[in-house]
Each structure stands twice: as structure tokens, then as C-alpha cells.
Chains A and B, each alone.
Chain A
Amino acid sequence: MARPGPSSRGQLHVWRYLGALLVLFVALYTTVAFAGQGSAWLKPKLGLDLQGGAQVILTPKTESGKTASSAQLSTAVDILRQRVNGAGVSEAEVFVEGEQIVVQVPGGNRDSIKAATKTAQLQMRRLVESAPVVPTTPPTTAPSATPSAAVSTPTASATPKKRPVTAGLVQAGTPTPTSTPSATPSPSEAPADAGPLVRSGDVYSPQAFALLDCSDPKARLGGAPDAPNQEIVACDRFGTEKYHLAVAKVVGKDVKGANVGTDSLGTQIKVVVSFKGKGQDKFTNLTKEAFGATPPTNRVAIVLDGVVYSAPTIQNVINGDAEITGGFSQKEAEQLANVLKFGALPLNFESGDAEVISASLGDDQLRSGLIAGGIGLAAVVVYSLLYYRMLGFITISSLLVSGGLTYAMVCVLGKQIGFALSLAGIAGFIVAVGITADSFVVYFERLKDEIKEGRTPRSAVDVAWKRAIRTILNADAVSLLAAVLLYFFSVGGVRGFAFTLGLSTILDLVVVTLFTRPLISLLSRQRWFSRTGPTGFYGPDGGQPNTGATRPSLTTPQEA
């Protein structure tokens, strides 16, 4: 199969490639500059081992006062790990220390780690009464107070008429934080802002229900005692409706598991909750009681940490799993599922104070690691120049470009998804130098081969590229395969590694196509490129490469 030349005019559009690379560079560094504040904008996020972070110690307590079993603790550790290390690249650590669980987050501040380790208990309560919340800010659209979620068996038909409501709810949900809570008491709530703040999850009393201002985000923070055997007042999580709820009939310990899924139409993300044997009975009974009761007592509220996630109308007696919908994003749904699984543990966790911890490795380790890397890179530079002569400068500049891109990516990802660089990660990038260098080593060696076979250096540049890119793609495909599979299967440090591997492989392809190749193409138009002295190319007779004038037959690309 004869292939056409690199372009119809026989010349590579060098500046297009280099231009694309420049755009990429500018875009990345602009992102970095805008993402960070002040002088810290070019600092990558470092892992616990290199820069320390924040830690919280959780003390488990079982209801009966027994110590938690090691199996329970390790389940808790797994769940917590998922929660604090969501994307898997933040290098957070969760482990058992004595009978406590230690959660460490790199660079984290104390507040964020407290929030991340929050435990929540699921409760299901029937509604006693409900009231819409009139927003205190100028109304944009009439807030629809009807809840959106449906509890049904997974097989039972979803209730389609509710779908538009969901959309409305999401809309109404987002702008709520703008409301200024303190000054204007909402018109529906007659009593003035006297007395302590009533929070969602507080014990019910007629005054508390009247005083509860769900448009105040502070009231919806959660964390109120929400004792299962007492009636409570509560808000939904967007602050559009408030409830007076009966005692909890189903609690966290009745839950067996929770998973994220989508509804039958694939449009709405839901959390499916399954129950343990007794829990299932309780849940079925709850739906039996609520089914057909007078509104609003035919609705069941799903309460987490004192806040109502959804309060669907029960349309059937349900013998299976419960589904919670409510306009979740995938991430929210995963978090909720995790919280539910955590709540299903028969443990209560008392969380200690958040503390700041120093790096676990001495700064001598980071410093000497960087020095060692520097020495190694200097050796690479010397070797490239000795072996590839002028072409060595291409190697070096390609490595510089690659380094620049990698650094920017690490900074950007640190801000965007909490990607933290551990010492192992840095070593990984140092090894990536080898993989990046390999791409042009493959290319250069191919180039030498082609020239030795009698091609002119200029024509060899394109033929060698075609052969080389095939090899590079095959080899990089394997690396990417490793990265993707390990990322999706693994947790913890392994996941971080997979991410690093994938990132450096992709950057390798970017650098070799957008930088190395156009640069060589550009240089091949120089006269010195055709001489042995600066390049180390040898022609078929072991002397100067062919000049093209004597061997026109070889200037067409070779067959693959």
C-alpha cells in the first residue's frame, strides 16, 4: 500500500503544529494563573509525605459500649478512604491507630477535613405536616415546593409526571444561598427573629416549626441531634419546603448497602438503598402505613444528618429496595451512597479535633530527590549531546517542553481535582523522562537507519516518522491501557500512580507530534542536517549521507 507524502506539497505544516503547542502552553499556564491566588499560583499540590496536611482522629463507639471489631473498623476505613480521596489522586490516608481511625488529607485545612469525615445517619420518617418556604429574596420563579423523589421498587414504573418538577427543583435549589437570612423575617413566619436559631433536625414543637427558617442556609447545615425516637422539624436540602416529621421508623443500621444508578430512562441519577432482613420489614411496614394515608402523611422523608434529601409520596407498598432521587449530580449521588454505607455501620464515630501535621518525610528527602533527578537529567543531556550531536539539542528541548507541560498539568490538576504529588509520584515523572526520551530515540534511530539505507536526510525524516509513530503508538497504547485499567480498579496510592502514568503517556504523544517532529522537519531544511559532522548520520557507504541529487529514486516514501 503506497502512502502519500506527509502533505501534498511535500512539506509538513510545521508552524501549525508548533502553533498548536504554543496555544496549549498558553492555555495551561493561563488556567494555572487564574486558578491560584497570589504568589502560590505556580506551586503544585504536594502529598502528605512532602508537605503534611490535616488530620482528624475518629473514635468509634458501638451502642452497646463494646469495642468495634477489626472487620467493622476496616470497612469504616474503606468507606472513609473513598470519601476523602474521591477521585483517588489526592493521596489522602486513612488508617487504624489503636482503636481509632486516623484520616489525613494533604495540605487540607481543618474545616474541609471535618466536613469530609462527617458521619450521617439515615432516617426515614413519615410526614406529619409540611409547609412551603417563601423565599426572602425577590422571587425569580415561583418555587415549586413539591418534592421530587420517588420511592419505588426498582422495577416499578417511575412516576413520569414528577420529572418536570425535578427540573424546577434543581433550578430553585441553586440560587438559595443568596438569600440574606438574618434581617428580614419571612412573611409566613410571624414571630420575629428572637431566640436561638432553630435548625433542621431539632426536636419538634409548634414554636420550633414556626420559627424554622429554611431559607437560612445556617438552619440547613445539619448536625442537629435528630434523635430517632422523637419528632423533629426539618428542611429539605434546597430550603424550599419545611417539614414536621414523625419518629424514625427506618434508621442507618437497617441499611445493607447503597449504590448509584440511573432511572429507567437513564436521565436521572438515583441512589438505590437495600435493606437488611429486619430493615426490609421495617421499610415495607413504613410504606404500608403511608400508602393511601391522607396527604401529607402519605409521604416519607429520607433524612440524613437532620436534613431531608427527598420526601416522596408513597404510591405502593414496597417490598424491595428504596430509591432516592432528587436532582443529584453523579458526584453527589456517590457521596450520598457512601454516607449511607457509612451510616449502615453499627458504629458511632466521635470525631476529635482537626490537627495540622507536618510532612512524614524529611525535606531532605524531597531536596535530595530533586538534586538526584537533576544530576540524572544532566547526565542525560551530556549523553544525548555525545550520541546525537546537534540532534541532542532536540532531545533536550523536547524534554524541556515536556517538563513544562507536565508541571503546568500538575498545578492545574492540583487545583481542579486535588491531584497531589507524593515522592513516588515525583519518581514516576523522573522515570517518565525515559519514556518521553524513548519516543525520539525510536525516531532518531529510525532516521539513522533510513539514511544508512541510502535516503537523503530530508526524505528520511518523513519515512522514519511514519515507521516511528507506529511503534510509539503501539507502545504508548499499552501504557495507556495500564493506566486506565489500574485507575478504574484501584484505590489509594495505586490510583494516583495510574493517573501519573496516563498523564505522562499522553503528554509524551503530545510532545513528540507537536514538537519533536515539526522541529526535526524544520531542521531538515537546513544544510547542516545533511552532513555527518553535526548529525552523526552516515550514508550507505559509511560516509556522508546521500544528497538526493544522485539518488532521486529514493525520495518517494517507502512502502510500509
Chain B
Amino acid sequence: MGIVHRLYHGETAFPLIARRRRFYAVSIALCVIALGSLIFRGFNLGVEFKGGAIFTVSAPSSVDLHDTRTFVESLGVNEPIVQTVKTSTGQTKVRIESAPLTQAEEQKVVEGLASHFKVDANSIDSRDVGASWGKQVTRKALQGLVAFLIAVILFISVRFEPKMAAAAIIALVHDLLLAAGIYSITQFVVTPSTIIALLTVLGYSLYDTIVVFDRVDENTKGIERGNKSTYSEAAELAVNQTFMRSFNTSLIALLPVSGLLFVGALLLKAGTLKDLALALFVGLGAGAYSSLFLATPLLADLKEREPRFVALQGRVAQRRSGAAAPVRLSQRSTNAAEGEAVESAPVATATATAVRRTGAPPAKRKPKGSRPTGKKRKR
């Protein structure tokens, strides 16, 4: 039975928590690369952040902005902002904003513009422009961010529990780091749109994590009173139960964004669209990945240290050494048949297979066999 079929039927049983160290290693490696690039390469900041040069030329009343932009780019200016300005006296001017230029480059642009618009080079006004994204905007945004993080930690702590808040915030930092890192690595221009995109990532990352944690919370309620499965197993089951949901949601969110990225980067080659779409694409992808592969394993690691869950591990191990895996499997199939048993133990509900990450090796390969064979003929 192929992976697609299993995905479609919601029968995934990925040992996400059992293999958590692998995912940690991947995440750490990626974060280190991102961080390294941020430190050593830094950002390619747009004119909105660091200012630049601005040229004003008198122009005939109708100007083809697209042509002008292409022309200015051919002079070696990266991502210029080209606008027309109509004064109250009816004059038309073209305003070109670019990243900071050296004197020679500036001279080249002025001469190019003079010949393009057939005006005297002396009539072209060139001056410095300050950052339009003021320091206050950044400061206030950071204040908002800090307030939000505190509030979200409180919210998750109260609504769920503090350890979930910790895991969610680590996943969030991971996502933001990767999204920011990709800008540093590709040296795409960072514009205000990029910042907005990063904030979108922040919202999405937490949103996605909460959806998974909501299921973990549901699955682990009252679990320490039983001896059926450990916290990690219950959490792993939750991840698998929400796997298709996460996959579908992320795909549905990523499809339009990859459209933006594709059109922006490949067809237009430049501009806000590309800048925006890259942050969104990487961020949303990382957000989906981290809520399943990072946040939940982290949470399980944190929780397994609690005495009550350590005790639970002991009881589960004891029970399993007494009754071997096959017994548990047969018990599971009875569960499915008896509706009432299903309800009393949500942990055992879905198709499958929290059994995997137990100490008992015999259980490891079982889930496949445990699947009802009747399905084959159906599809």
C-alpha cells in the first residue's frame, strides 16, 4: 500500500517523536546556516530602510513607466522605484528612487536619463533620500511584537500549559530565523513588504502549532491515570492524527504563495512580489514543518521529565513486558469494534499506532499488519 493511499486515509504513523533527534539535528543545522549568513552576510536592505539616491527629471506628459524602469535597470540600478509626479501647474516629472550609488554610478544614471528623456543633464535633480521606513516604525513594531509574545505565552500557558508555550515559541523563533536567513542567503532585497511577510509567518506559525497542540492536549488528558501509553506516544498519535490536516492546510496556503513566487521571481524577475513571496513561502513551509517535527517532539521531551510522566513510562513499560505487543494489537482491533471503548480512550482511536516508539522492539513493524485488510479491495 503506497504512502499516498495511507496519507489519504489518514493512516500515517510516522515515528516523529521516536526520531526526534534527527529532526532536531536538521533544524539546528538549518538555523546555524541561517544565523551564520545573517551574521556574516547580513541583509540586502532596500531603499526604504537605508535611504538612497533620488533623481527628478522633467518629462513629456506621457511617460511609459515600464520602459523607463527597464531603462534605469539597464543603467545598473537594482530595483528602482519609478514614478511620475504631476505638479499643480500641470508639469510632469519622473521620479526615480534607487539604492545608494557611488558618484560614478550617479553620474552614469544622470547622463543616461538626460539622453533618454532628451533633456539637459544639469536640469536633472539628484539628491539623497532618507529611509521612509522610520526608526519609530521599527521600534513600535518591536514593542508590539514583545507585547504579543508575552500575551501569547500567557494565553497558551493558561489555555493549555506553560511547556506548550515554550515549545511553540521555540518553533516560532526557528521559523522566523529560517525565513530571515533565506533573505540573507539569496540577498533578495529586504523591503517593508518583507517585514509584513515575516509578521504573517509569525502569525501562521503559531496558528499552526496551536492546532497540533490542541490535539495533543485532547489526547493526553488524564493519560497519567492509565497505563496504556506514554506522553510521547499520545503526542505522536496526535501529530499523526493532525498530519493530513497540517499537510492540506499548508498545501492550500502554499499553492497561492508559490504562484506569487513563481510569477514574481521567474517572470518578473524583480520587485515587491518576489520579495514578499519568498518570505511567505519559506516561512509558511517552515511553520508547517516546525509545528509537526519540532514543536511537538520538544513538548514531549519537556513533558517526559515530569515525575508523573516518568512514572507513567514505568507503568506502561511494565504492562508491556507482561503483555507482549501482539496482545495489545488484538486489543486494538477490539477497540475498533466496540464503540464504547473507543470513547473512553481517545488515545487509541485513530487507526493507529502509537505503539511504535515503545521500548518493545516486536511492536515496531506491527502497524502495517494491524491495518484492516478489507481496505485493499475497496480502492
Contact = CB atoms under 8 A, between A and B. Distances in A.
Interface of A: 49, 52, 55, 73-74, 77-78, 81, 93-98, 110, 353-362, 364-365, 368-369, 371-377, 379-380, 383-384, 387, 422-424, 427-428, 430-431, 433-435, 437-438, 441-442, 445, 448-449, 452-454, 467, 470-471, 474-479, 481-483, 485-494, 497-498, 501, 532, 536, 538, 540-543, 551, 553-554, 558-559
Contacts of A437: 248-249, 252-253
Interface of B is mostly: helix
A474 B210 contact: yes
A483 B176 CA distance: 17
Given A470-B214, A554-B339, A428 B256 contact: no
A424 B276 contact: yes
Interface string B247-270: 011111111111110111001100
Given A423-B193, A497-B199, A497-B200, A357 B95 contact: yes
Contacts of A494: 137, 140-141, 144, 195-196, 199
Sorted from nearest, which 5 A-B pairs have the closest CB atoms?
A434-B253, A376-B256, A489-B144, A96-B130, A376-B259
A478 B152 contact: yes
A355 B260 CA distance: 33
Chain A contact residues: helix, strand, loop or mixed? helix
11 contacts: A96-B130, A96-B131, A356-B85, A365-B272, A374-B259, A376-B259, A380-B256, A383-B252, A493-B137, A540-B336, A554-B339
A485 B218 CA distance: 28
A542 B377 CA distance: 9
Interface string B323-353: 0000000000000110110110000011100
B132 A95 contact: yes
A438 B252 contact: yes
Nearest to B344: A559
Interface string B47-88: 000000010000000000110010000000000011111111
Nearest to A97: B129
Contact of B193 (A94, A424, A482, A558): A424
B102 to A, nearest CB: 18
A36 to B, nearest CB: 24
Contacts of B350: 449, 452-453
B24 to A, nearest CB: 24
B339 to A, nearest CB: 5
A543 B192 contact: no
Given A434-B257, A474-B210, A540-B336, 13 more contacts: A353-B88, A368-B263, A368-B268, A375-B262, A383-B251, A383-B252, A424-B272, A427-B280, A431-B253, A474-B214, A485-B144, A542-B378, A543-B375
B256 A430 contact: yes
B197 interface: yes
A452 B10 CA distance: 10
Contact of B84 (A96, A357, A433): A357
Contacts of B342: 453-454
B134 A78 contact: yes
Contacts of A96: 129-131
A81 B133 CA distance: 11
B245 A442 contact: yes
B273 interface: yes
Contacts of B277: 372, 427
Given A435-B204, A490-B141, A493-B196, A445 B129 contact: no
Contacts of A358: 65, 83-85
Given A372-B262, A482-B202, A538 B268 contact: no
B128 interface: yes
Contacts of A357: 83-86, 95
Interface in B207-221: 207-208, 210-211, 214-215, 218
